[in-house]
């Protein structure tokens, strides 16, 4: 292939294997699906195979490659790590070691030239362009912890063989078992193999492109990451990407109970039977004060510099301080109440319930005071403008 240069002056050439794979598989999937449907028709079984395989390989990327291996947000027993290693290989996104090396660099150097899928180089680059070209030497770094895991070392040595078995042959056998005969095998291969592969690919790619492009930035404006909840529907909860970039050590991406985050539920479920442990949660006081601070900073940027600004800043900082303290008291009150319940200490229970109620009210009051401050700042902008 001819070498070319991009704006940054870095030499690159087309990665023929990756580029043909990423353009070939969607064609194969669509043509195959149309041919199969027109020839044999579709029952509920083909979409079921698609769903099961989407879930096994997709979740192995989000809960496994991403939250467990890249960010160490919790620990997992070996059968679960083996499951992730086998089925994530079937998602054809490289070995855990390579994936996590890229991803850790993405967080560390986000939006710079060293970020492997920096959105500052365009939507298409962040989505899949970066996979289709080679720039300089392949870098695998800062993954010594993963290289020491025998399961992941084995996976890296045999990545294509494992991927071929779990991502192509296995859905074929699911088809053989559910639908019967070689037609069943073809059905499983097309729906659970190729079509599923393409869907999981683009689901993952959309986090690197779409979740750095669309949506809101409630927790930080320091980088391009954004919360775009619709993306969570197809990526097992990864759409809360602004939260994730701000608090990458948290095993949740959607931190509220109603946030659609199946990876979080999956990890929590396995903690009940002791197969996942040390689930790390960033405390509410840190999350909410980051949200308050970011709201203030956005408003501040929109304002013209003036004498009032110092006063606004002081009041915002004051709100933030009081919010943190109220949320801390609330968390302490809740854990003390759990102890009191266990000791069936009724007097203390009543006392603590009162404190919890008060702390909740303090959180509410602080937020409404802060919102009042935000509306005053708008008025001030109108006046200055
Ligand atoms: Zn991440
Ligand atoms: Zn990102």
23-55 pLDDT tens trace: 999 999 999 999 999 999 999 999 999 999 999
3-state secondary structure of 270: helix
* Separation of CA 107 and ligand 1 centre (Å): 7
Encode pLDDT of 207-221 as tens digits.
999 999 999 999 999
Provide mean pLDDT across the span 106-125.
Answer: 97
* Separation of CA 125 and ligand 1 centre (Å): 18
Mean pLDDT is highest, among 3-7, 41-45, 301-305, for: 41-45
Could you tell me the strand order of the sheet in which 133-135 lies? 4-5, 11-14, 133-135
Spell out the residues 6+ positions from residue 149 whose beta carbon is closer than 8 angstroms to its own: 81
Kind of pairing between the strands at 4-5 and 11-14? antiparallel
* Separation of CA 259 and ligand 2 centre (Å): 19
Q: In this predicted structure, what is the pLDDT of residue 306?
A: 60
Q: In this predicted structure, what is the pLDDT of residue 290?
A: 97
Encode pLDDT of 228-278 as tens digits.
999 999 999 999 999 999 999 999 999 999 999 999 999 999 999 999 999
Provide mean pLDDT across the span 289-311.
Answer: 83
* Separation of CA 244 and ligand 1 centre (Å): 6
**pLDDT confidence bin for 3, thresholds 50/70/90:** very low
**pLDDT confidence bin for 200, thresholds 50/70/90:** very high
d(CA 340, CA 344): 6
* Separation of CA 256 and ligand 2 centre (Å): 20
* Separation of CA 313 and ligand 1 centre (Å): 32
* Separation of CA 279 and ligand 1 centre (Å): 16
d(CA 192, CA 189): 6
* Separation of CA 306 and ligand 2 centre (Å): 36
d(CA 84, CA 270): 14
Q: In this predicted structure, what is the pLDDT of residue 381?
A: 55
pLDDT above 90: residue 135:
no
Dihedral angle over CA of 149, 151, 156, 162, nearest 10: -170
Instruction: Give the DSSP letter string of 36-58.
Output: HHHHH---SHHHHHHHHHHHHHH
pLDDT above 60: residue 195:
yes
Dihedral angle over CA of 26, 104, 286, 256, nearest 10: 20
* Separation of CA 349 and ligand 1 centre (Å): 40
**pLDDT confidence bin for 173, thresholds 50/70/90:** very high
d(CA 29, CA 189): 10
d(CA 325, CA 319): 10
* Separation of CA 250 and ligand 2 centre (Å): 14
* Separation of CA 270 and ligand 2 centre (Å): 26
pLDDT above 90: residue 300:
no
pLDDT above 60: residue 320:
yes
Alpha helices in 109-169 (DSSP H): 123-124, 130-132, 144-147, 150-157, 159-164
* Separation of CA 70 and ligand 1 centre (Å): 7
Ligand in closest contact with the CA of 231: 2
Q: In this predicted structure, what is the pLDDT of residue 11?
A: 72
Helix 150-157 and helix 78-89, axial crossing angle in degrees, nearest 10: 20
d(CA 153, CA 333): 45
* Separation of CA 106 and ligand 2 centre (Å): 7
From the number of C-beta atoms within 10 Å of its C-beta (0-12, 13-18, 19+), residue 43 rates as: exposed
- Give the bridge partners for 216, in sequence order: 227
Provide mean pLDDT across the span 69-96.
Answer: 98
* Separation of CA 21 and ligand 1 centre (Å): 25
Ligand in closest contact with the CA of 100: 1
Ligand in closest contact with the CA of 117: 2
Q: In this predicted structure, what is the pLDDT of residue 303?
A: 76
d(CA 237, CA 27): 28
Ligand in closest contact with the CA of 225: 2
Encode pLDDT of 332-358 as tens digits.
999 999 999 888 888 999 999 999 999
**pLDDT confidence bin for 69, thresholds 50/70/90:** very high
* Separation of CA 243 and ligand 1 centre (Å): 10
pLDDT above 90: residue 138:
no
d(CA 313, CA 380): 14
8 Å CB contact between 241 and 227: yes
pLDDT above 50: residue 5:
no
Encode pLDDT of 352-362 as tens digits.
999 999 999 99
- Token digits for 174? 């699911």
Ligand in closest contact with the CA of 111: 2
Provide mean pLDDT across the span 169-196.
Answer: 97
């Amino acid at each position: 292939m001819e070498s070319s240069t991009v704006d940054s002056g870095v030499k690159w050439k087309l990665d023929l294997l990756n580029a043909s794979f990423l353009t070939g598989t969607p064609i194969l999937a669509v043509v195959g699906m149309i041919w199969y449907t027109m020839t044999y028709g579709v029952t509920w079984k083909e979409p079921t195979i698609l769903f099961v395989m989407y879930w096994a390989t997709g979740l192995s990327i989000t809960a496994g490659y991403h939250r467990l291996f890249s960010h160490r947000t919790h620990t997992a027993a070996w059968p679960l790590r083996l499951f992730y290693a086998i089925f994530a290989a079937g998602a054809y996104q490289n070995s855990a070691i390579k994936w996590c090396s890229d991803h850790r660099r993405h967080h560390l150097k986000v939006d710079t030239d060293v970020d492997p899928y920096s959105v500052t180089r365009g939507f298409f680059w962040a989505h899949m362009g970066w996979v289709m070209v080679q720039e300089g030497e392949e870098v695998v770094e800062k993954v010594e912890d993963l290289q020491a895991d025998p399961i992941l070392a084995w996976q890296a040595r045999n990545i294509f063989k494992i991927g071929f078995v779990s991502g192509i042959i296995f859905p074929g056998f699911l088809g053989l078992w559910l639908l019967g005969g070689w037609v069943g095998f073809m059905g499983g291969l097309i729906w659970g193999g190729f079509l599923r592969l393409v869907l999981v690919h683009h689901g993952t790619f959309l986090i690197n492109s779409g979740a750095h492009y669309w949506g809101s930035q409630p927790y930080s404006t320091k980088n391009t990451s954004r919360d775009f909840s619709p993306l969570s529907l197809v990526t097992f909860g990864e759409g809360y990407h602004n939260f994730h970039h701000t608090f990458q050590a948290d095993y949740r991406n959607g931190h509220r109970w109603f946030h659609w985050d199946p990876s979080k539920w999956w990890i929590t479920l396995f903690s009940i039977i002791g197969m996942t442990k040390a689930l790390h949660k960033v405390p509410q006081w840190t999350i909410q004060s980051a949200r308050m601070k970011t709201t203030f900073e956005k408003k501040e940027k929109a304002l013209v510099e003036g004498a009032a600004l110092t006063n606004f800043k002081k009041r915002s900082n004051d709100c933030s301080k009081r919010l943190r303290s109220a949320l801390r008291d609330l968390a302490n009150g809740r854990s003390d109440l759990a102890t009191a319940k266990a000791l069936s200490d009724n007097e203390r229970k009543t006392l603590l319930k009162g404190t919890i109620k008060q702390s909740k009210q303090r959180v509410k009051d602080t937020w409404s005071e802060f919102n009042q401050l935000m509306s005053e700042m708008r008025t001030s902008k109108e006046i200055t403008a």
